[in-house]
Amino acid sequence: MKKRIGGQAVMEGVMMKNQDQYAVSVRRPDGKIETKTEEYVSVSERHKILGFPLLRGVVNFVESMVIGMKTLNYSAEFFEDEEMETTSKFDQWLERTFSGKGEKFLMGLIVVISLCISVGLFMILPYLISSFFEKMISSHSVILLIEGIVRVGLFLGYVVLISRMEDIKRLFMYHGAEHKTINCLEAGEELTPENVKKYSRLHKRCGTSFLFFVMIISIIIYFFIAVDTMWLRVLSRILLIPVIAGISYEVIRFAGNSDSKLVQVLSKPGLSLQYLTTKEPDEAMIEVAIASVEGVLDWHAYIDEVKKEHEST
């Protein structure tokens, strides 16, 4: 039996998700660990067609963003100034205007804005930059290659730039703690800080690897799209995003479950990129990651079952 636990780093904490449950653990300013567990039933479970290959990748991507924003906001609440602890007039207006669903509306709006910025920065901007070379280069393939290189370059530059920020450095350390803890669990070892420390901070199912596959697969797909006008090219890049996300999800899902040599080679670039988006955590951060796993899984029972399976084979 293999658990497909996933997670993400939050402000001074870690979120872990197991099936229909997720838990977020945060190291509070007083040093104590606070863990909150909630249920989240995927829309693909209510509408089975959305659980089909390709479609499930798009659903998973959007739902991951929603849960990610929600848990980030939750972790941030522990570090707000005392003046911010009282509900602001804006929050009160939102709740009145949207009949008590102001927080959900704001969360949805933030997700939409984030998606628009990401699409503009990593999909549309690379195309606009590459279009400047069309007068000098007649080859459609070369122009698309330039667009792909610009896209990957912008992404790498963005990651390097934000990694220099102190808050982001700590976030990346918690990201490392999340990966090391999941790797330890998947190896069937007890979740203790000493055991977790031994494991890699890289993981094949990481969102960083997913985004890298998005970049590469977009280059491949755009090679087969030939339209003459600029607005159609821009529109095609927007409309194909769900297709690219769906294919990327299936690729990383397969990679996460395969130990073949070919998959290991194909996973290398995405794993290498994680050296930028993860940092080695300290023991206190690992404790938070372990607490988050304990919020969604009885890992003692799970490891016992894994050992029994190994003994019987």
The pLDDT, as a whole number, for residue 82 is 43
The pLDDT, as a whole number, for residue 174 is 97
The whole-model pTM stands at: 0.84
The pLDDT, as a whole number, for residue 62 is 86
The pLDDT, as a whole number, for residue 85 is 47
Helix (H) or strand (E) holding 25: strand 21-27
CB 23 within 8 A of CB 298: no
In whole angstroms, how far apart are CA 87 and each of 69, 96, 102, 282, 288?
19, 13, 12, 35, 28
In whole angstroms, how far apart are CA 74 and each of 24, 33, 284?
8, 14, 20
Q: Residue ranges of the alpha helices (H) in the chain? A: 43-46, 55-76, 89-97, 102-119, 125-131, 140-162, 166-186, 193-197, 207-222, 230-239, 241-257, 261-277, 283-294, 299-312
> How does pLDDT run across 140-167, given as a tens digit for each residue?
889 989 999 999 899 899 989 988 888 8
- Looking at residues 88-92, what average pLDDT do you find? 60
Q: Please give the share of the chain, as a percent, with pLDDT higher than 70.
A: 89
| pLDDT above 70: residue 263 | yes
Strands 13-18 and 33-39: unpaired
| pLDDT above 90: residue 205 | no
CB 177 within 8 A of CB 200: no
- Backbone φ, ψ for residue 34 (5° rounding): -110, 130
CB 178 within 8 A of CB 279: no
Q: Chain-wide mean pLDDT for the chain?
A: 86
Q: Please give the share of the chain, as a percent, with pLDDT higher than 90.
A: 39
69 or 294, higher pLDDT: 294
| pLDDT above 90: residue 3 | no
| pLDDT above 50: residue 86 | no
| pLDDT above 70: residue 179 | yes
Q: Which of 30-34, 95-99, 227-231, 256-260 has the highest mean pLDDT?
A: 30-34
| pLDDT above 60: residue 90 | no
Which of 37, 14, 8 is CA-nearest to residue 27? 14
End-to-end CA distance of the chain: 13
> How does pLDDT run across 220-240, given as a tens digit for each residue?
898 888 777 888 888 988 899
224 or 283, higher pLDDT: 283
Rg (alpha carbons) of the chain, rounded to whole number: 21
The span from the CA of 107 to the CA of 83, in Å, is 22
The span from the CA of 22 to the CA of 214, in Å, is 25
Taking every pair of C-alpha atoms in the chain, what is the biggest distance, in angstroms?
67
The span from the CA of 297 to the CA of 96, in Å, is 38
